[in-house]
């Protein structure tokens, strides 16, 4: 390409470039530059105050021996696994029902979708008030009904993860229900009509038509839900702060605490952008690998069936 033709091409497409430019600038400033900064920080020790100390691979060796990282990884896997296996089938069932010609189905849809538009921190604070062991309404209800004699410590070691999961599932149901609803809307009605002529109704329709036809969207929904489950931390931060004894600390919460210690600088984490960047990088790799494995597996399932 000679200079003249390059110039003339730029001139010819200047409207296109002009329209691309703002987005491109934002991309560089707010996505590419921070990523590069994070990649660079992995080789430094930096506390936002003072020198950038080059530490070579020290952050990586710290990561390998960091019991809190491995504990957070284990918690994240448990959290993501249970969140997914509860949320996906439940949101599909919900979508299936609110897609039926029921009276008031739009109201149901709106109610189920509402948690998606409520701020996670507000939602979690409300749930904290509902579940707190000293005057929470859940315990009061259970005691009034005579199901339990003593208040259950929902945020204690035994139940903290279960409580966090319950609330996370509640918050996510409506969102994935909407995805499934849009998938259900794409199934042509004539398939159901011809199946009905062949005598397929009820469960047979669901099992042999709806579920197979929903496979592509389910694949995408699971992938999105998987990534989101790995990224959850706001609800946990409000509800338990990762405790007790770090039993609900997930990877993203750990990264957040490394980058923005919550007033516990002498506590279990100390502000360290360099190490935070390393944990963030390792987490991104882990999430990437798990998502890739899932996509491969789901493609293989597609080919098999």
Q: Print burial letters for 59-81: b (CB count within 10 Å at least 16), e (below 16).
A: beebbeebebbebbbebbbebbe
Which one of 30-38, 90-98, 177-185, 225-233 is the stretch in contact with another protein (CB under 8 A)? 30-38
Give the interface segment with another protein, choosing from 79-87, 115-123, 174-182, 268-276 (CB under 8 A): 268-276
Closest approach, Cβ 265 to another protein, in A, equals: 7
Site for another protein contains 33 (CB under 8 A) = yes
51 binds another protein per the rule CB under 8 A: yes
* CB 204, min distance to another protein, A: 48
Q: Is 74 in the site for another protein (CB under 8 A)?
A: no
**Stretch of 84-92, 153-161, 200-208, 282-290 lying at the interface with another protein (CB under 8 A):** 153-161
Q: How far is the CB of 197 from another protein (least distance, A)?
A: 48
CB 160 within 8 Å of CB 248:
yes
Alpha carbon separation from 222 to 61, 80, 170, 199 (Å, rounded)? 33, 11, 17, 32
Say whether residue 245 binds another protein (CB under 8 A). Answer: yes
Q: Between 35 and 285, name the residue whose CB sits nearer to another protein.
A: 35
Q: Any contact of residue 260 with another protein (CB under 8 A)?
A: no
Pair 248, 164: CB distance under 8 Å: yes
The residues binding another protein (CB under 8 A) are: 1, 6, 9-10, 12-13, 16, 20, 24, 28, 32-33, 36-37, 40, 47-52, 62, 65-68, 128, 132-135, 151, 153-157, 160, 239-241, 243-246, 262-268, 270, 272
């Amino acid at each position: 390409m000679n200079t003249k033709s390059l110039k003339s091409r730029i001139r010819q497409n200047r409207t296109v470039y002009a329209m691309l430019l703002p987005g491109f600038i934002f991309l560089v400033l707010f996505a590419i530059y921070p990523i590069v900064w994070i990649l660079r920080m992995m080789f430094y020790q930096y506390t936002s105050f003072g020198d950038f100390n080059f530490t070579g691979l020290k952050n990586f060796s710290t990561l390998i021996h960091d019991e809190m990282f491995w504990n957070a990884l284990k918690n994240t896997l448990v959290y993501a696994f249970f969140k997914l296996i509860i949320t996906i089938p439940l949101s599909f069932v919900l979508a299936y029902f609110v897609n039926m010609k029921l009276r008031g189905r739009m109201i149901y849809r709106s109610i189920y979708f509402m948690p998606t538009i409520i701020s996670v921190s507000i939602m979690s604070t409300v749930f904290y008030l509902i579940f707190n062991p000293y005057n929470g309404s859940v315990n009061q209800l259970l005691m009034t009904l005579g199901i339990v004699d003593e208040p259950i410590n929902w945020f204690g070691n035994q139940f903290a993860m279960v409580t966090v999961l319950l609330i996370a599932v509640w918050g996510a149901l409506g969102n994935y229900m909407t995805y499934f609803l849009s998938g259900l809307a794409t199934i042509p009605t004539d398939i159901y009509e011809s199946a009905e002529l062949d005598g397929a109704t009820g469960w047979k329709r669901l099992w042999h038509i709806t579920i197979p036809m929903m496979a592509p969207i389910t694949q995408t929904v699971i992938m999105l839900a998987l990534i989101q489950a790995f990224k959850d931390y706001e609800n946990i931060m409000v509800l338990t702060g990762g405790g007790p004894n770090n039993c609900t600390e997930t990877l993203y919460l750990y990264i957040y605490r490394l980058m923005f210690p919550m007033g516990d600088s002498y506590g279990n984490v100390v502000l360290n952008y360099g190490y935070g960047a390393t944990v963030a990088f390792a987490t991104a790799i882990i999430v990437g690998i798990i998502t890739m494995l899932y996509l491969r597996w789901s493609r293989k399932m597609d080919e098999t069936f």
